[in-house]
Structure 1
Amino acid sequence: MQTGKNAAASVKETASNIAASAKSGMDKTKATVQEKVERVTAHNPMEKDMATQHKQEKMNQAEMNKQEAREHNAAAKHTNAAGGTTGHSVGLHHTPAIPGQVTGGGIGSHPIGTATATSGTTAPNTHLGGGNNTGYGTGGGYSRSGR
């Protein structure tokens, strides 16, 4: 039984690390594109240098967030594999060490891309669209075409 727990913890850690790397990559790409836009719209060399500096700061922050997530994932694996509490789940569920996510219990059986209101109705998940810098969205615009 312990071997199964260790394997599951390793899979969860790996999946969470992959997600953290993907998020970091998206943030770095976004910083690079934003820098290019700022450099094109800059009116003088100082503004261009500031755009490059902002890009580097954002890239450094993305890398730091990724490393913090990896450290958290390793600690969570160790805690879960040792038979400790499993209050912090990883992967598609809630991971409090990553900014923009909610802490608490499991998600439940709601379809992906929807959130259930208190009245029992289903509403679109606003974290799936672009322009949301606080959560893990798809990175692009979310369109509900075809409905």
Structure 2
Amino acid sequence: MQAGKNAMASVKETAANIGASAKSGMEKTKATMQEKMEKMTAHSELEKEEAERKKQERIREAETEKLEAKQQNAMAREQVRAGHGHSDDHRRSSAAEHVEPAVISSRPIDLETGTGRPSC
């Protein structure tokens, strides 16, 4: 019975770590896209440098959150192995439960690319 709990705890930890990594990747991508938008609308070199600095800070935060989630996931697994937790515990430390979709704007193809295709 304990072996089953240990295996389930490991599976849950792995799934939660995958979720944390996915969220971190999305946050990093979002930071990069926001930086690109800020650089395109920047009026000075100082504004461009500030956009780069904010991107780097967002990336560091995303990486820190991922590492913290992985530590929490490992602690939860160890609690189950030590018999202090439950394999069917409904608490989840996975960051994937709080994922927000990235917001990307789009424009009709013919306006930006010069394809000459009429918009519908």
TM-score by length of 1: 0.63
> 1:96: how far off?
5.3
Higher relative contact order (CA 8 A, sep 6+): 2
1:56 aligned partner, one-letter code: Q
Q: How far, CA to CA, are the matches of 2:88 and 2:60 in structure 1?
A: 26
Partner of 1:6: helix, strand, or coil? helix
Larger Rg: 2
Match of 1:95 in 2: 92
Match of 2:111 in 1: none
Among the aligned pairs, what percent are the same residue?
Answer: 50
Match of 1:10 in 2: 10
TM-score by length of 2: 0.76
Q: Deviations over 1:120-145 (max 9, x none)?
A: xxxxxxxxxxxxxxx3234469xxxx
* C-alpha contact 1:68 1:97 (8 A) present in aligned 2: no
* C-alpha contact 1:17 1:69 (8 A) present in aligned 2: yes
User: Is 2:38 the counterpart of 1:75?
Assistant: no
Higher helix content, 1 or 2? 2
> 1:86: how far off?
3.5
Residues 31 and 140 from structure 1, CA distance in 2 versus in 1: closer, same or farther, beyond 3 angstroms?
closer
Partner of 1:84: helix, strand, or coil? coil
* C-alpha contact 1:76 1:88 (8 A) present in aligned 2: no
Q: How far, CA to CA, are the matches of 1:69 and 1:88 in structure 2?
A: 19
Alignment root-mean-square deviation, CA: 2.5
Higher strand content, 1 or 2? 1
Aligned residue pairs total 104
Match of 1:136 in 2: 99
Gaps of 5+ in 2: 105-120
* C-alpha contact 2:42 2:48 (8 A) present in aligned 1: yes
